[in-house]
Amino acid sequence: MGWSAAIDDYISFLRAEKSLSENSVSAYRTDMEKLRVYADSIGIEPESITHDHLQNFLAYLHDLGLNKRSQSRILSGVRGFYKYLLIEEVIDSDPTELIESPKIGRKLPEFLTIAEIDAMQTAIDLSKSDGHRNKAIIETLYSCGLRVSELVNLKLTELFFDDGYIRVIGKGNKERLVPIGHKAIRDINQYLQQRNDVNSRIDQEYKNIVFLNRWGRQLTREMVFTIIKKYAKLAGITKNISPHTLRHSFATHLVEGGADLRAVQEMLGHESIQTTEIYTHLDREYLRETILKFHPRK
């Protein structure tokens, strides 16, 4: 099997069996193309690659200037590719089995304090047509810990305010129920009153989408990035933040307040508890203050 056919088959498998988004599928293809270029340079077909070839491939990625995190991500995709070839009986053994991922330090994500989040919301001019919408966006991202893709795809039929939760469709079309607080409910309802005032402008295709632009169409992820950056700047926040920073803040404040890590994992939609564990390392100052306050030997 040649590289083009093997990669195309793998991509089709990811779409059909893994239900990955087009962004994820595109990223996998880009990573696999790097392996194809390397393999072509040494005249090796997919089924002939060995452990030593892959070790040299990692050295090749290093020479390209890719950092260890990128190398590790690409290797993860290569592992998936060869597990697929093994399932399809294209190969008899997995050449990635004994390959170790590059050692990378875990970078702690940036997060905001409650005061900084409040400052962002205070910076919003509610007299403007998009004011209540933008306030609801910031509060929903923070209060529910949503990914930006989950926010822009949130539907009116997924809001269960009487029961205090929303239904979220996350990565791989996995569904989860996330509690929503009174403040976020209030902010969304205030926005929806304005949204309904311009109901005649809403395209039929987007009537069930919660957050819309001024033309009655679905917001893009890029637009949400712009909104968050705008109000961070107006609030005088110098941290490099994005919509994901509000998700990190949600998780950090829960763990800081003593929330069970498994519950945080469930609300974030993390497949592995190891992904959630990073939040236990974020606020060492909080732990220090707790010890100074309560320990008898302080």
Which residues are known catalytic residues? 147, 171, 244, 247, 270, 279
- Buried (b) or exposed (e) across 230-247, using 16+ Cβ within 10 A? ebbeebebeeebbbbbbb
Contacts by residues 152-156 (CB-CB < 8 Å, ≥ 24 positions apart)? 152/209, 152/211, 152/218, 152/219, 152/220, 152/221, 152/224, 153/209, 153/218, 154/209, 154/210, 154/211, 155/208, 155/209, 155/210, 156/207, 156/208, 156/209, 156/210
Q: How many residues does the chain have?
A: 298
What letter does residue 106 receive in the DSSP assignment? Answer: -
Nearest to 158 by CA among 144, 143, 168: 168
Report which residue type is found at 67. N
Query: How many CA atoms within 13 Å lie on the side-chain side of 4?
Result: 0
Of 102, 96, 106, 3, the closest CA to residue 59 belongs to 102
DSSP state of 160: E
Contact 73, 61 (CB under 8 A): no
Kindly state the tokens that stand for 36: 């194809």
